[in-house]
Amino acid sequence: MDKILRINMGPNGEPSYTTEPIGDFAGLGGRGLTSAIIAKEVPPTCHALGEENKLVIAPGLLGGTTGAMSGRVSVGCKSPLTGGIKEANSGGQPAQMIGRLGYAAIVLEGKPAEDKLYKIRISTEGVEIAADPELKMKGNYDVVERMKKEYGDKIACVSIGQAGEMKLASSTVAFTDMEQRPARHAARGGVGAVMGSKGVKVIVIDDTGASMRSPKDPEKFKAANRAFVDGLKKHPVTGEGLPAYGTNVLTNVVNEAGGYPTYNFKTGRFKGAAAISGENQAEIMKARGGQPTHGCHRGCVIRCSGIWHDKDGHYLTKQPEYETVWAHGGNCGIDDLDVIAMLDRLDDDYGIDTIEIGATIGVAMEAGLAEFGDGQAAINLVKEVGKGTPLGRILGSGAAVTGKVFGIERVPVVKNQAMPAYDPRAVQGMGVTYATSTMGADHTAGYSVTANILGVGGSVDPLAPAGQVELSRNLQYATAAIDSTGMCLFIAFAVLDQPETFQALIDMINAFHGLELTADDVTALGKKVTKIERDFNEKAGFTNKDDRLPDYFKKEALAPHNVTFAVTDEDLDTVFADL
């Protein structure tokens, strides 16, 4: 993984590609690499759908190795949704295959002069780029089936659905999973629209003949990997809770805590929560012959995903995640897992972000386009997006645009990106992260490793108001670092509580690359990535006024605890004062 593949889609003549050494970007992977390339090479004020923007697809530092949990991939660009820098993260098989082909990143550049749609095949034999008009306005599932027929069943695909082709701001980039289904998505921020603007419908990855990447010190790597896996398996979250119920294990408890955004963030509890909970979901999957415990890529030992079958026992979609179940469920007043699963399938096929579109439908319901709780109406609205009707294009442009079009004040976004499934009034520290993240409202932006383990910022007084600000900042640094390794962010639970597991992670990276990183270096990496992203956003025109939640979170008390968001603007402005 010492080279970067650059594919120029135009505008001068036909698309072409070059391969170059990783050069100045050595030592970076995943989010660290995508953000570094975007910050260095993309003018912050450019149009996100213009030729100057780039789409960077990068596995992590351990992509293509036998390291457990190392199959995540980062997709970076200037976001058409937020207008700032974006890294969206996904599971699936392509990251490992791209790594085995030796690429640290694939960069899509330029823009075709003509309205052509291309497919790209990357293999040990090189790169083939060909126009394929037959793929126009095809869904992700159809595209992957066509690629399998054409290139065989050993491939993985990176593709966009209709939403990406229409360059909608909620569109995703899909990555195929172990079953070659396009069910894994780099979903947030409209990254699919940028791929669509480059005229690229699908990238086929074929690593036939490529070898697993070899560590510099195989014995040390093997031992560290074993210790890392042991740490994940013995931790109650990664070893028990997530495998049993997936991320949707959160529904019941977030609801009980009064932090479950319901009816477009009007209240913090949903009466139908138990019916759509992870516990109920797991039992339904078992009864129908689905799988409640399944990995999203090979080498995953947590296996928090699953396979959802319909009432007749046929595959419909992967197990909808907590965020999806919330966005299409409680947020829209829908308590039927079959409806939610159908919406998830449509989202994956059209290539739209389940969080963004779920929040958008909530806003649309508030605007009177449908009744809260009407599952069929929600399905119909999502189908509008797939068909590209004028209404569908408005909805597919996200919650902020939809709120403006229909004159709705209660629009739960930061930097135009919809909030995920935790009301910031009930979890105020989450609100700090939503407000100040470089990505817009993002629950994964400040997620992971304790300040004490990473040694940043000193100790935190949990009862002091400033504690939330300090914790949020340190968590955002740590998250940026983990995203750069290409590790699944869920490893954070074990790393959080078990210093020896965190050390095993560092040992894996060191043994593989022949480095001597310490915990401080990992922290410094996270801080560096965050600074790169903050600088880009500032040059793109963002100010501290963009690091705010919508006003109504400060004014409207959230039932049942009747709380408002109480962190002051002055405190929010201190989050990144050290950068």
Site of interaction with other proteins (CB under 8 A): 235-237, 240-242, 244-245, 247, 249-250, 252-259, 269, 273-275, 277-280, 282-284, 286-287, 304, 422, 426-430, 433, 443, 446-447, 450, 452, 460-464, 467-468, 471-472, 475, 490, 493, 496, 560-561, 563
Q: What is the torsion angle, in degrees rounded to the nearest 10, for the CA atoms of residue 501, residue 507, residue 508 and residue 511?
A: -170
Nearer to other proteins, 272 or 388 (CB): 272
Compute the distance between CA of residue 243 and CA of residue 232 in angstroms, rounded to an integer: 11
63 or 329: whose CB is closer to other proteins? 329
Residue 305's nearest CA partner among 313, 540, 297 is: 297
Beta-carbon contacts of residue 34 (< 8 Å; ≥ 6 apart): 56, 57, 58, 74, 75, 76, 77, 87, 105
Q: Shortest gap between Cβ of 259 and other proteins (angstroms)?
A: 7
Q: How far is the CB of 462 from other proteins (least distance, A)?
A: 4
- The least CB distance from residue 250 to other proteins, in Å, is 6
Q: Cis omega before residue 182 (within 30°)?
A: no
Closest CB 173 distance from other proteins, rounded Å:
23
Q: Which residue's CB is nearer to other proteins, number 102 or number 467? A: 467
Minimum CB distance to other proteins smaller for 395 or for 475: 475
Report yes or no: 378 and 364 within 8 Å, Cβ to Cβ: no
The C-alpha atoms of residue 178 and residue 285 are separated, in whole angstroms, by 19
Query: Can you say whether residue 405 is alpha, beta or left, with left for phi > 0 and alpha for psi between -120 and 50 degrees?
Result: alpha
The nearer residue to other proteins, 204 or 558, going by C-beta atoms, is 558
Beta-sheet strands, E only, within 368-458: 413-414, 417-418
Least distance in Å: CB of 182 to other proteins? 25
3-state secondary structure 65-121: CCCCCCCCEEEEEECCCCCCEEEEEECCCHHHHHHHCCEEEEEEECCCCCCCCEEEE
Tokens of 549: 């939640």
Shortest distance in whole angstroms from residue 461 CB to other proteins: 8
CB of 478 to other proteins, least distance (A): 11
Q: Which is nearer to other proteins, 195 or 232 (CB)?
A: 232
Secondary structure letter of residue 319 according to DSSP: P
Least distance (Å) between residue 254 CB and other proteins: 6
Query: Given the complex with other proteins, which of 277 and 317 has the nearer CB atom?
Result: 277
Q: Measuring CA to CA, which residue among 332, 320, 434 is closest to residue 382?
A: 332
Pick the closer one to other proteins by CB: 182 or 241.
241
Cβ-based nearer residue to other proteins, 214 or 568: 568
Q: How far is the CB of 576 from other proteins (least distance, A)?
A: 17
Residue 568, token pair as written in the block = 């002051």
Counted residue by residue, the chain has a size of 579
DSSP-derived 3-state class of residue 306: strand
Helices (H), 264-307: 278-287
